[in-house]
Structure 1
């Protein structure tokens, strides 16, 4: 979001009365917010979010066509690389999905019926997150930020040096993982998840930095946040919506391929 435009939002709610109520409460709590669309089912919510690329998406959990959790996953999969991902807020009557929601980086999880007071707290969190995206630190601030990043980053690697073994902390143990044995790298907000046939481990560095320090020709990008060892890919399966998922040797779960990289797996 830039400072010269209003923040935007999409609402996904299959009950029209509740959608109107949430719209009204948001207008009171956040007059600057521009609601660009309301969807009554999960499939339409996905289409609307990808078409409008809003700053915020308010999602019900249980909706026809696709759940709110599935909408968040689908939107993140196909989100344009040149835009910051939307902030997700779940507004639902079901407490039991909170963990799944926060695993998908939800900013907040509101139980219906949302009150004006509770929604005001959510708005404050959203404003703070959006403000953080637009803040530009001064030179001193940038220096402090770089020092802090260096203090928590992985041990430095000299320019031109390539990492052949990844040192990943697992509790009090440091696992020594040969890059050749890695099945895939999955980026999260602060870490990269290193997945091998024998388990997973986290390293505190960005995916871009990591790929610059290994022989990345052995890995292919299948999602904005996922790199896969090409030699470990067994097959690619296309679903009715045109999305591919990969079967990877040694990995029990499939890996989703975002639409932007689907062309890599079309038949020759």
Structure 2
């Protein structure tokens, strides 16, 4: 059975699209309806649907940002974008629906999806045309797990990252999480204007730094605004903080 996710911050439009899809495609299993971008990414991670109908303008994360997490999911954008943007979608063989969604156009979309059996198209190429961003700053959130629960942690909430063997501790003002990505693999994905390595085992959010303190032995330490933790600042990484 083909599974699908619908994400739209307008509940009536989401419910209408779900009902019309079921009428056109009775075998389609709509596994989740998300009200915003964050819920949509969580649903993608939890259900791994075959299809995702994504509104482009949603609170939290846009449909374009959500689509970056849709690695094995065919995406249909629900959009009011102009013809230039739509042509980019078509070039990558990604379908789209213009609001308000026309019945005939929706039926054409369903027919196309039912016929399409090949692997998902090059979504990243289309996204690059619409939402270009440096690769080093592409990471906007982290997916963390606790038991059967999947959560999203925005990068803005992270105070610092700390290496822990092959894993990494993610520390916010109120929580600590352990992720499987090693610190050395995480660093290239972070925006260098927002995050800096202060020790071989520590990366800090620059916006969370309150002050740099030097103790009696000449060792430098990073003090944070929202956390009592004190982080070591190695000499090799101290240059960036001389103005603080």
Compare CA radii of gyration and give the structure with the larger one: 2
TM-score normalised by length of structure 2: 0.50
> Which one has a larger percent strand, Structure 1 or Structure 2?
2
* TM-score, structure 1 normalization: 0.46
